[in-house]
A and B are shown apart, each in its own frame.
Chain A
């Protein structure tokens, strides 16, 4: 396919339809009218179908629910209507699905899939699917044996098993339709991400940025599970599925090799463990890539493209159309796997099709999603590693005193920490009613001491010690509302611990999120006033959803179940293994006072 494409530093390149015709007044006025019409339409979204069939609610990944029964005026009446122990202790990231009158829940390893009947009292199971998952995968997963959820399409529930398989299960019967091996745990690849469906392709990717993998995305046939394309994130253009010189892809030839030393790209990481979004009009999928490996920068000189980047690809055949790298030659483990939210915003007086991304590096980016042109980049968290992002070059202005490497010893006072100004595991939301983005943030800094490391297949490939401490103010987290046009924070709710949950915002102007110490909260989406909270039994690292039950009422669902990085970091939140007892984390010694592990699905209603 001949692709319309723009290169790495797209700021100076203009896309054909982004220019306002100077001489044609009629078309100019029509364009203004169209902008006004779109803005009006954005204020009155189509009626919500009440379901939640894909990880981020829709192709644009807004996590916006059009349901409006729950409002700031009545949110204090929210109460639990149901809960269910998943029987699994690992970190419950991701979110349930609601398709028709069935709710689907995927657990962390061993990746049980539950189907609950919402039409019956107590929501009993219709079925559960218990796949065989190789337990060796648990030790290959960098940061707890989590799973980020399933997607529904074509009558099937599709999700990834930790051990490198994608499965499709009949949504009605629970029978396995197909199962495909997509990754190899012996290479350090595991697969906790939520698959995404664009047209008749299932898009998947691996974790393993800490295991020296050779990162990729794959497109599977929705009907059969057959792998139709594999696109690597670095290496020669033939493996990147990039075609410089054809169409408008203007990056240098083989930039995925020339920005690395030797063959270090072969073990350079760039995992795909976050979220995927899709613009059907442009026919582009968007996803972020993770850190380069190892953490010791001196073993991989160069910009290391396309690690820590957003890639825009054709879902049909994987062709790379444009890419933009947020953190070249990453020195701090600033993965860019966070969601790319697709919205239309007026930037610089013009309606733009944009992509909004909150990066681990602490900057929030607004890019033109047709071209990759950088429009806005402002810090949403406390940032010390860079002074700013140069809008014309698209490059960060790095404070070289914060650059790390084995010969540089212990580099202190780096903010954000490698947990990110925001974790990609905590997807944000966007309300077309308020025009605001809502996101969890972390206020952590770190010291970073890199060491040389050897690649041993299937073992960690890291090479750094990175202790954390709280950033300015002492609160380790904050839930914020963000204006992506002006690049500024509108309001925030400070939290004692890092905020690690996703969010959902509704047409009732209520936004929901959870905290590591186990509160599930509702806030006024316009003002940030906290409206309601409930203690859900374990820290929240999942993402809430909103759906309409068979009784016509609006409900909110959320997982409790601390884990993910907090399985590693908090030390003493597990109680199931008498052979593994750890002291509390020095930077958050009180966390286990409020939570321990344990997965529970909660549903709340009025």
Chain B
């Protein structure tokens, strides 16, 4: 497990760079408005967040950030720490290259996205197109 101290094997406890997050809960000092959300959206794209989390943060190789569900906590403070310090399954630590203000704006942007209501049932009612399977097509 290159780069991870041998004594730390449980991913939830690992912080990128070996730094442990501050114990205190952080609060977002930047009030969310349309300007900060627009800034956050631009930063989300500019810093390549969409490359992993998808356009609109709806999920790609990284998880969706707009489904209302969180692996590492969904408070503003937890989001800040995820971005600042990184997370062990590939989330880089942006603390070195993004200012705290920029991180808070990204959080404002994520917060501004609509969260779909939880519908536990997924049902397929429309018939799929019937087709005779496996017929050879010879030109």
From B59, B60, B137, A493 is in contact (CB under 8 Å) with B137
B46's nearest neighbour on chain A, judged by CB, is A454
**A138 close to B97 (CB less than 8 A):** no
User: Which residue of chain A is the closest to B2 with respect to CB atoms?
Assistant: A134
B contact residues, range: 35 or more
Q: A136-B89, A496-B128, A582-B67 are in contact. Are A144 and B138 (CB under 8 A)?
A: no
B122 to chain A, nearest CB (A): 7
Cβ of B61 < 8 Å from any Cβ of A? yes
A590 to B50, CA, bound (A): 26
Q: Is the CB of B88 within 8 A of A135?
A: yes
Main secondary structure of the interface of A (DSSP, over half): loop
Q: How far is the CB of A93 from chain B (nearest CB, A)?
A: 15
Contacts A135-B1, A590-B124 hold; do A461 and B90 have CB atoms under 8 A apart? no
Q: Is the CB of A581 within 8 A of B69?
A: yes
Q: Judging by beta carbons under 8 Å apart, are A139 and B89 in contact?
A: yes
| Residues of the B chain whose Cβ atoms lie less than 8 Å from the Cβ of A163 | 2
Q: Is the CB of B90 within 8 A of A136?
A: yes
The answer to whether residues A461 and B51 also contact, given A141-B61, A163-B2 and a CB cut-off of 8 A, is yes
How long is the Cα–Cα vector from A494 to B132 in the complex, in angstroms? 10
Q: A454-B48, A459-B48 are in contact. Are A580 and B59 (CB under 8 A)?
A: yes
User: Which residues in B have their C-beta under 8 angstroms from that of A451?
Assistant: 45
**B67 to chain A: which residues have CB within 8 Å?**
580-582
Residue of B nearest to A592 (CB): B122
Name which residue of chain B comes closest to A569, CB basis: B60
Question: Is B114 among interface residues, defined by CB-CB distance under 8 A?
Answer: no
Q: A135-B1, A579-B63, A579-B69 are in contact. Are A460 and B90 (CB under 8 A)?
A: no
Q: Chain B: which residue is nearest A581 at the CB level?
A: B67
Q: Mark A277-311, 1 if CB is under 8 A from B, else 0.
A: 00000000000000000000000000000000000
* Contact assessment for A582 and B58 in the assembled complex, using a CB-CB cutoff below 8 Å: yes
**A141 cross-chain contacts in B, Cβ below 8 A:** 61, 90
Given contacts A140-B90, A528-B138, A134 and B63 within 8 Å (CB-CB): no
Q: Which residues of B contact A474 (CB under 8 A)?
A: 129
B52 at the interface (CB under 8 A from A): yes
**Residues from chain B with Cβ under 8 Å of A493 in the complex:** 134-137
Nearest CB in chain A: distance from B53 CB, A: 10
Choose one: B16, B47, B52, B137; the contact of A454 (CB below 8 Å). Answer: B47
In the complex, which residues 87-139 of chain B have their Cβ closer than 8 Å to any Cβ of chain A? 88-92, 97, 116, 122, 124, 128-129, 131, 133-139
Minimum C-beta distance from A572 to chain B (A): 7
Docked complex Cα distance between A593 and B97 (Å): 43
Q: Are A459 and B51 in contact (CB under 8 A)?
A: yes
Contact (A138, B89) CB under 8 Å given A530-B134, A580-B63, A582-B58: yes
Q: How far is the CA of A46 from the CA of B138 in the complex (A)?
A: 31
Tell me whether A528 and B69 are in contact (CB under 8 A).
no
Contact (Cβ within 8 A) B89 A456: no
Which residues does chain A contribute within 8 Å of B35, judged by CB atoms?
Answer: none
Is residue B3 within 8 Å, beta carbon to beta carbon, of the partner chain?
A: yes
Residue contact B48 to A132, C-beta cutoff 8 Å: no
On whether the beta carbons of A580 and B64 are closer than 8 Å, the reply is yes
- Chain B residues within an 8 Å CB radius of A572: 122
List, in ascending order, chain A residues with CB within 8 A of B18's CB: none
Cβ-defined contact, B70 with A579, below 8 A: yes
Q: Is the interface of B mostly helix, strand, loop or mixed?
A: loop
Considering the complex, give the chain A residue whose CB is closest to the CB of B56.
Answer: A465
* Cβ–Cβ contact B2 & A460, under 8 A: no
Is there an interface contact between A135 and B69, defined as CB atoms closer than 8 Å?
no
A residues less than 8 Å from B124 (CB atoms) = 590, 593
Bound CA span A451–B48, Å:
11
User: B62 in the interface, Cβ–Cβ < 8 Å?
Assistant: yes
Query: Do B139 and A489 touch (CB < 8 A)?
Result: yes
- Nearest A-chain residue to B48, judged by Cβ: A459
CB distance from B62 to the nearest CB of A (A): 6
Considering the chains assembled together, what is the distance between the CA atoms of A521 and B46 in angstroms? 45
Chain A residues with Cβ below 8 Å from B22 are none
Interfacial chain B residues near A135, Cβ < 8 Å: 1, 11, 88-90
Q: Does B55 contact A521, Cβ atoms closer than 8 Å?
A: no
A462 B1 Cβ-Cβ under 8 A: no
Closest to B63 in A: A580
Complex Cα distance A492/B55, Å? 36
Q: Which residues of chain A are near B135, meaning CB under 8 Å?
A: 493-494, 530
In the bound assembly, the distance between CA atoms of A489 and B139 in angstroms comes to 8
**Complex CA distance for A142 and B46, rounded to whole angstroms:** 18
Are A138 and B90 closer than 8 Å at their CB atoms?
yes
Give chain A nearest CB distance to B99 CB in angstroms: 14
- Docked Cα-Cα span, A581 to B64, in Å, equals 7
- Given A451-B45, A474-B129, are A143 and B61 also a contact pair (CB < 8 Å)? yes
Select from chain A the residue with minimum beta-carbon distance to B87: A139
Q: Is A529 an interface residue (CB 8 A)?
A: yes
B128 to chain A: which residues have CB within 8 Å?
Answer: 496, 590, 593
B137 touching A134, Cβ below 8 Å: no
- Kindly state whether residue A178 has any CB partner on chain B within 8 Å: no
Which chain B residues lie closer than 8 Å to A139 at the CB level? 52, 61-62, 89-92
Instruction: Please pick, from B1, B51, B64, B136, the residue contacting A460 in the complex, using a CB distance under 8 A.
Output: B51
Q: How far is the CB of B113 from the nearest CB of chain A, in Å? A: 14
User: B26 near A: Cβ within 8 Å?
Assistant: no
1/0 contact trace for A445-475 toward B, CB 8 Å?
Answer: 0000001011010111110010000000011
Instruction: Give the CA-CA distance A529 to B135 in the complex, in Å.
Output: 6
Whether B1 lies near A496 (C-beta < 8 A) is: no
A144-B4 in contact (CB<8A): no
**A117-139 toward B: CB 8 Å interface, digit per residue (1/0)?**
00000000000000011111111
Contact of A137 with B138 in the complex, beta carbons under 8 Å: no
Task: Add 19 more A-B contacts to A134-B3, A460-B52, A490-B138 (CB < 8 A).
Answer: A136-B3, A139-B52, A456-B48, A459-B51, A461-B48, A461-B51, A478-B137, A491-B136, A493-B134, A493-B135, A493-B137, A494-B135, A528-B136, A530-B133, A567-B61, A577-B71, A580-B64, A580-B67, A582-B64
Interface CB pairs A-B, < 8 A, 27: A133-B1, A135-B11, A135-B90, A136-B90, A139-B52, A139-B89, A141-B61, A451-B45, A453-B48, A459-B92, A460-B48, A462-B48, A491-B136, A491-B137, A492-B136, A492-B137, A494-B131, A494-B137, A496-B131, A568-B61, A577-B71, A579-B69, A579-B70, A581-B67, A582-B64, A582-B67, A593-B128
Chain A to chain B: the 6 pairs with minimum beta-carbon distance, closest first: A139-B90, A460-B51, A530-B134, A528-B136, A580-B63, A459-B48
